[in-house]
Structure formats: structure tokens, C-alpha cells
Amino acid sequence: MIFQIWDVFQDFFDWIAESGAIMLILAGLIAITWFGYESKRRRSITKRKVDEYEFNVTKFLRILSYLGIVIGVFCIFSGAVSLLRNLPPSFAYRDNVANEVNHFTAISLIVIGLICFLKPINDLPWSGIIGLIVGSIITFIIAISIPEQLAEVIAVFIDPRWVLGILFVLIVAIVALTVKFYIKGLMAISKVLSWPPIALILMFYCFIQGVALWGFGFSVVPNFF
């Protein structure tokens, strides 16, 4: 049963690696949600600065915007694996051009994947999320690593659950503050990527290149080496 499940996952990731064109089209759909989301937040398509006011956006649009993180990971995976394994970006490209990687598409997939990953940084509490993940992992490791004899000694003075709880809170706070300090540069990049015209440019490129590869089997930019 475990091997069957693993085979399903392996087939899925193999398909992603061989479907760069489809990943581009999905990234283009995500760019549309960014365009709508940011245009509504800024009350303008070209305005750079975000006004501090409350705005209502549908949960569906917000979820789609954050879904870009997952699509970004898939794009990076597809681009990187296609470079490493010399895979074409689509079956149509393989049949019409060559059964080899298109370097421009592979590199653009990695770049677009990074953009998809960095874009929501300003909108998600990454410092808190990372702090919770790291705190949970470290606390769990400590909890299962403490010898039973030591736990009994600690229990004489204080409930070990309190110790683990306090440790968890401290780790979360320290990691969150550290991440918040180092993430400022990425947040600045995220603000630039949030400008609606950038989402529009990204959308057009993803759709044009994706449809050309998937439907017609050619790249708007041929292999350059």
C-alpha cells in the first residue's frame, strides 16, 4: 500500500517536471488574481503606494492569491528538474522541436516560481508561521528525547508540560523576531512585485509562452545554447 501511494506521488511529480508549459499557464492564472487583488487594494492599476485603509476582498480571491506559493514551488521544481534531466517543457515541444530542455523556459520557470513565492510575503505573517513550525519541531524533539528519569526529577519541582510550554513560547518568540529582522529585504522585494503592472506583464508572458509550448509546440524564445 505504501509503495502504491509512493508511485502515485512519483508519477505526479514526474508529470510536473515534464509539464513546464502547464505550470506557466497556472502561474498566469495566479498573476490574474494578484492583478485584481492589488488593483482593489490600491484603488488603481498604476498607483505604487498602498493606502492604509480597510478593503474587502473575497476569500476566494485571497485564497487564490496565496495559492501562488504552491504554484511557485511547482514552477521551481519543474524548471530545475527539466534542466537537470534535460526534459522538454511540453509533449508538443518534444514532438515538434526537440526532445530536450528549452533553457529559456526552464530558467523563467525558476524565476517565476521565486516571484510566486516572494509576492505574498507582505500579506502573510511569515515570522509567526516559521516561529510556530520551528517551535513545534524543536519542542517535539526535546519532549521525545528527555530521559524518563530526568522527566521524573523535573516533575518533583514543576509539571514537565509547563516546562515544554514555556520552552515552546520562548522558541517561537526568538525565531519570529529573528525572521522578522532578516525578512525585511524580502518584504521590500515583495512590495515591488505587488505593483499591478508587474502582475499584468507576468500574466501575458506566462499565457503566451505557456500556450505556445503546450498548444503549438514552440517557444517564443528558442534555445540559446
Q: What confidence tens digit (pLDDT) does each residue in 181-222 have?
A: 776 666 666 677 777 888 889 899 999 999 999 999 988 877
- Based on the number of CB atoms within 10 Å of its own CB, is 167 exposed (0-12), middle (13-18) or buried (19 or more)? middle
Tell me the pLDDT tens digit for each residue of 122-178: 666 666 667 777 777 777 777 777 777 766 766 777 776 777 777 777 877 777 777
Task: Please give the residue that has the higher pLDDT: either 148 or 109.
Answer: 109
Q: pLDDT tens digits, residue range 46-55? A: 666 655 544 4
- To which residue does cell 534542466 refer? 83
